[in-house]
Structure 1
Amino acid sequence: MEIVILAVVIAVVVVGAIGGLVVGSRKKKQLPAAKAPSATPTPTAPPAEPHVGDEAETPRDEARRTIEEVDLPGADAPASAPVATEEPAAPPAPEIETPEPTAGRLVRLRTRLSRSQNALGKGLLTLLSREHLDEDTWEEIEDTLLTADVGVAPTQELVERLRERVRVLGTRTPEDLRALLREELLTLLGTDLDRAVKTESGLETPAIVMVVGVNGTGKTTTTGKLARVLVADGRSVVLGAADTFRAAAADQLQTWGERVGARTVRGPEGGDPASIAFDAVKEGIAEGADVVLIDTAGRLHTKTGLMDELGKVKRVVEKHAPLDEVLLVLDATTGQNGLVQARVFAEVVDITGIVLTKLDGTAKGGIVVAVQRELGVPVKLIGLGEGADDLAPFEPEAFVDALIGD
């Protein structure tokens, strides 16, 4: 009996223990009851920041104000400080350059010229130095001159004079031959022609110089270099950017002008070239400039419409004052094709002078003779390189000396 009672008691204890564990676990899952306020407040964690994408919820019981109840800031309210913006720095003004004096430029460039023209001068001296000058030798001399683009008529004249002089001279030392050849080449080039670019109009207006030529001959560059030549000789210059068809032609010309302190008058791309030329002369008169240089667009000599437009530019400019110079820019490397171009331009505008560019890059220096004979106007300037001061006044003596050497 006692054993049975003991077993019942043990069973009751075991059941009670199990029940206590279950109830304890349930109590742990419930939220703790609020504690009574104490004297020292317990710090609480700040509310969690809303995460990206969470929407703020407006309390339903919050009273909303009408627009009349909202106070607007008064005139005396301090305005928020403006955000300081940094002004972009203005580009520095280009430094004004002092161009190299034009006197003696061709002498300085003589080595460059003699390198390209070596075949002409040295070839002629070698042939003339032969002991027996038979017909075959004279034909070789003639071929040498023709290859150098001297032209048929000038070549025949030079060969005839050389044959006569050599026959009369008899003995021929190298010094005699060089002196003979120099004299005959100078006669062919002409030493009595006026090769100065006209920079004085004789009127109250500036001298007006228009630069023309076909595409790719370097007219804009030549105009910029010519501005340097004139500034170096003490002339004040205004540039007219009348080449409105080639992109950036006006920018290019303006850059050349800024380097020597010459102002450029320009208009919109694709604008009327005659109008820009007119404005350039007008402003040149207002400023009291010595020379106005007008750069025209390159045009094919076969395009009648473009050539007519060139004539229009000339007529419009002459409403202010007569043109003092019309310079035709020719690429010396084109040879006889340059003569065809020259003829057409001379029919549209009265060419007064020739600028031969790229003469250092060709062995066809005889084009100087041919183009003068074709147009009846002198070569006034020659280009002998890419440098800013590589445009030189043409000096026949220096040119011939470079051809035949010392």
Structure 2
Amino acid sequence: MEIVILAVVIAVVMVGAIGGLVVGSRKKKQLPPAKAPSSTPTITRPPAEPHVGDEAETPHDEPRRTIEEVDLPVAEPSASAPVVVDEPEAPEAPPAPEIETPEPTAGRLVRLRARLSRSQNALGKGLLTLLSREHLDEDTWEEIEDTLLTADVGVAPTQELVERLRERVRVLGTRTPEELRALLREELLALVGPDLDRAVKTESGLETPGIVMVVGVNGTGKTTTTGKLARVLVADGRSVVLGAADTFRAAAADQLQTWGERVGARTVRGPEGGDPASIAFDAVKEGIADGADVVLIDTAGRLHTKAGLMDELGKVKRVVEKHAPLDEVLLVLDATTGQNGLVQARVFAEVVDVTGIVLTKLDGTAKGGIVVAVQRELGVPVKLVGLGEGADDLAPFEPEAFVDALIGD
């Protein structure tokens, strides 16, 4: 037993001695001598990629932290400029319409006389040519009658004019061109009626605004006439509220509102197909609240053969009069329709009390005699005439300027 123990001790001692020798030899090993510098540069290789776990600084045996203990990293402010995201531009609001200054109404028909005379000269020149004949026999007087009838003067006014002309010519005897022109002008002026009150009534005499209702058949230019009348009133220094009671014609309210915006007049309107009487009622109500001078009500252009629709026009009149009495009911007629316009005028006069006539498109016809015929038919004067498509081509009717345009210069 002792021998075995001794052998183990000897083996341990020998292993230790051998290990010391190995360690000593490693310490004594020297580095190789440095090489002399050369012209060729030394290329240093990059270190090898680290293995997984080599760079870890926290030992793996540290206790794990809960999610509550972990702080989120704080974002450091970037040195670069912030990125601006372009947002879609909001649509620009349509610019407010520019308020126009209407042309003054004083003498407007006189300024438009040349335009009127171009289309009306046929009547005046025809009469002057016939009257200038040396012998005025029955055939000549029949031609004069035909000329007047063709111009839509009407049967009764034509007979009256011819009789007066025959008497005057017989008394006058020898006729110079200047005398004939003066004679014809005098008789035509008497036929047109220079003494009729042609002022558009826009003053109620009460605390309420003047109320004007515009009626007429579709296609006569009724809505356009209402807008142009607003310009006439604004040019005379009046404030206007428009009532778009024509709810059955597409875009009629838009058309009227456009006319109003051009002169700064407010438009009261309702839904398409709505009750016209209700809108007319609201327009008068707004006109009273705003302290306006005049309320213009554009009504639907009914076909005069539809009795039910015409009854509704009477309803509009009755509803408006709950606020204040109507001061003016203007009937718009197309001068080019001739005698058919008289049929329309009669039917409208039965429904509402027409107080004045507006003749549109008078510059597009040589039948200026409709002025005389419609006045005789209704017993009311022509108060306004339309002489073109321009915004200021609606003019107060002036008998002298009209007759001068008929017979020419």
Q: What TM-score, normalized by structure 1, do the two folds share?
A: 0.80
Q: Deviations over 1:99-119 (max 9, x none)?
A: 000111111111111111111
1:39 is displaced (CA, Å) by 26
Q: After the TM superposition, which of the residue ranges 92-101 and 4-13 deviates more from structure 2?
A: 4-13
1:45 is displaced (CA, Å) by 20
1:257 is displaced (CA, Å) by 0.3
Q: CA separation in 1, counterparts of 2:330 and 2:66? A: 82
1:2 is displaced (CA, Å) by 73
Match of 1:303 in 2: 306
Moved over 6 A (4+): 1-87
Higher radius of gyration, 1 or 2: 2
1:64 is displaced (CA, Å) by 18
Q: CA separation in 1, counterparts of 2:54 and 2:307? A: 76
1:389 is displaced (CA, Å) by 0.2
Match of 1:57 in 2: 57
Specify whether residues 111 and 46 from structure 1 end up closer, same or farther in structure 2 by C-alpha distance, changes over 3 A only.
Answer: farther
1:31 is displaced (CA, Å) by 39
Is structure 2 residue 352 aligned with structure 1 residue 340? no
Match of 1:273 in 2: 276
Match of 2:30 in 1: 30
Q: CA separation in 2, counterparts of 1:365 and 1:139? A: 19
Specify whether residues 210 and 42 from structure 1 end up closer, same or farther in structure 2 by C-alpha distance, changes over 3 A only.
Answer: farther
Specify whether residues 184 and 84 from structure 1 end up closer, same or farther in structure 2 by C-alpha distance, changes over 3 A only.
Answer: farther
Specify whether residues 2 and 206 from structure 1 end up closer, same or farther in structure 2 by C-alpha distance, changes over 3 A only.
Answer: same
Specify whether residues 51 and 82 from structure 1 end up closer, same or farther in structure 2 by C-alpha distance, changes over 3 A only.
Answer: farther
Match of 2:215 in 1: 212
1:68 is displaced (CA, Å) by 12
> 2:68 is paired with a residue of what secondary structure?
helix
1:385 is displaced (CA, Å) by 0.2
Q: After the TM superposition, which of the residue ranges 38-47 and 288-297 deviates more from structure 2?
A: 38-47
Specify whether residues 17 and 48 from structure 1 end up closer, same or farther in structure 2 by C-alpha distance, changes over 3 A only.
Answer: closer
Specify whether residues 65 and 315 from structure 1 end up closer, same or farther in structure 2 by C-alpha distance, changes over 3 A only.
Answer: farther
Q: Deviations over 1:25-61 (max 9, x none)?
A: 9999999999999999999999999999999999999
> 1:308 is paired with a residue of what secondary structure?
helix
Q: CA separation in 1, counterparts of 2:200 and 2:124? A: 28
Q: CA separation in 2, counterparts of 1:303 and 1:114? A: 37
Specify whether residues 28 and 239 from structure 1 end up closer, same or farther in structure 2 by C-alpha distance, changes over 3 A only.
Answer: farther
Specify whether residues 53 and 19 from structure 1 end up closer, same or farther in structure 2 by C-alpha distance, changes over 3 A only.
Answer: closer
Q: CA separation in 1, counterparts of 2:54 and 2:139? A: 104
1:127 is displaced (CA, Å) by 0.4
Q: CA separation in 1, counterparts of 2:70 and 2:40? A: 39
1:149 is displaced (CA, Å) by 0.2
Specify whether residues 92 and 171 from structure 1 end up closer, same or farther in structure 2 by C-alpha distance, changes over 3 A only.
Answer: same
Match of 1:124 in 2: 127
| Equivalent residue for 2:365, pick from 362, 370, 374 | 362
Q: After the TM superposition, which of the residue ranges 347-356 and 32-41 deviates more from structure 2?
A: 32-41
Match of 1:292 in 2: 295
Specify whether residues 123 and 266 from structure 1 end up closer, same or farther in structure 2 by C-alpha distance, changes over 3 A only.
Answer: same
Q: After the TM superposition, which of the residue ranges 14-23 and 275-284 deviates more from structure 2?
A: 14-23
1:167 is displaced (CA, Å) by 0.2
Specify whether residues 287 and 366 from structure 1 end up closer, same or farther in structure 2 by C-alpha distance, changes over 3 A only.
Answer: same
1:390 is displaced (CA, Å) by 0.3
> 1:69 is paired with a residue of what secondary structure?
coil
Paired positions, count: 406
Q: After the TM superposition, which of the residue ranges 256-265 and 40-49 deviates more from structure 2?
A: 40-49
1:320 is displaced (CA, Å) by 0.1
Q: Deviations over 1:234-261 (max 9, x none)?
A: 1110000000011111111000000001
1:268 is displaced (CA, Å) by 0.6
Q: CA separation in 2, counterparts of 1:338 and 1:368? A: 11
Specify whether residues 387 and 3 from structure 1 end up closer, same or farther in structure 2 by C-alpha distance, changes over 3 A only.
Answer: farther
Specify whether residues 172 and 266 from structure 1 end up closer, same or farther in structure 2 by C-alpha distance, changes over 3 A only.
Answer: same
Q: CA separation in 2, counterparts of 1:25 and 1:136? A: 161
Q: Deviations over 1:249-289 (max 9, x none)?
A: 11110000000010000001111000000000000000110
Specify whether residues 5 and 67 from structure 1 end up closer, same or farther in structure 2 by C-alpha distance, changes over 3 A only.
Answer: closer
List gaps (5 residues or longer) in structure 2. none
Q: CA separation in 1, counterparts of 2:29 and 2:218? A: 95
Q: Deviations over 1:173-198 (max 9, x none)?
A: 01100110000001101111100101
Q: After the TM superposition, which of the residue ranges 34-43 and 101-110 deviates more from structure 2?
A: 34-43
Q: What TM-score, normalized by structure 2, do the two folds share?
A: 0.80
Specify whether residues 70 and 289 from structure 1 end up closer, same or farther in structure 2 by C-alpha distance, changes over 3 A only.
Answer: farther
Q: CA separation in 2, counterparts of 1:400 and 1:123? A: 14
1:343 is displaced (CA, Å) by 0.3
Specify whether residues 30 and 77 from structure 1 end up closer, same or farther in structure 2 by C-alpha distance, changes over 3 A only.
Answer: same
Q: CA separation in 1, counterparts of 2:50 and 2:151? A: 89
1:11 is displaced (CA, Å) by 60
Q: Deviations over 1:285-333 (max 9, x none)?
A: 0011000000001111100011000000000000000000000000000
Q: After the TM superposition, which of the residue ranges 153-162 and 82-91 deviates more from structure 2?
A: 82-91
Q: CA separation in 2, counterparts of 1:5 and 1:74? A: 69
1:405 is displaced (CA, Å) by 1.4
Is structure 2 residue 161 aligned with structure 1 residue 158? yes
1:199 is displaced (CA, Å) by 1.3
Q: CA separation in 1, counterparts of 2:6 and 2:392? A: 130
> 1:137 is paired with a residue of what secondary structure?
helix
Specify whether residues 90 and 140 from structure 1 end up closer, same or farther in structure 2 by C-alpha distance, changes over 3 A only.
Answer: same
Q: Deviations over 1:178-229 (max 9, x none)?
A: 1100000011011111001011110000000000000100110000000000
Specify whether residues 2 and 280 from structure 1 end up closer, same or farther in structure 2 by C-alpha distance, changes over 3 A only.
Answer: same
**Identity %, equivalent residues:** 94
Specify whether residues 16 and 58 from structure 1 end up closer, same or farther in structure 2 by C-alpha distance, changes over 3 A only.
Answer: closer
> 1:67 is paired with a residue of what secondary structure?
coil
Specify whether residues 89 and 151 from structure 1 end up closer, same or farther in structure 2 by C-alpha distance, changes over 3 A only.
Answer: same
1:85 is displaced (CA, Å) by 10
Match of 2:5 in 1: 5
Specify whether residues 274 and 132 from structure 1 end up closer, same or farther in structure 2 by C-alpha distance, changes over 3 A only.
Answer: same
Specify whether residues 131 and 350 from structure 1 end up closer, same or farther in structure 2 by C-alpha distance, changes over 3 A only.
Answer: same
Q: CA separation in 2, counterparts of 1:146 and 1:54? A: 121
